[in-house]
Amino acid sequence: LVLNCEDVLLIRNRFNHQDGINFAVQALQNNPQMNQFAFGNAIESEESADRLCRSILAHPKIQELGLKCCNQDATFGYSMLKTPLS
């Protein structure tokens, strides 16, 4: 999935959990010009959260990041946010 834009904001889309992660990871991997990324969809597992975080960390140009996907009930929410911020 190649998008020709600098900002990708995936907030409140109606993806099922895995499709949202897959779309986000593909957008991150295939768009090196992107400098802003936001994700606000549900994440169902720690593995999915880890996959998203690794894609964010591997991106060469992201300067602004918004993660609104960590609900308070998720046991992996804190660790997900901690990974890209550390």
The pTM of this model reads: 0.77
Band of residue 81 on the pLDDT scale cut at 50, 70, 90: low
Q: Tens digit of pLDDT for each residue in 3-57? A: 677 888 887 777 887 898 999 999 999 998 999 999 888 888 888 888 998 999 9
Give me the DSSP letters along 34-79. --EEEE-S----HHHHHHHHHHHHH-SS--EEEE----TT-TTHHH
Name the β-bridge partners of 38.
9, 66
Residue 10's SS3 state is: strand
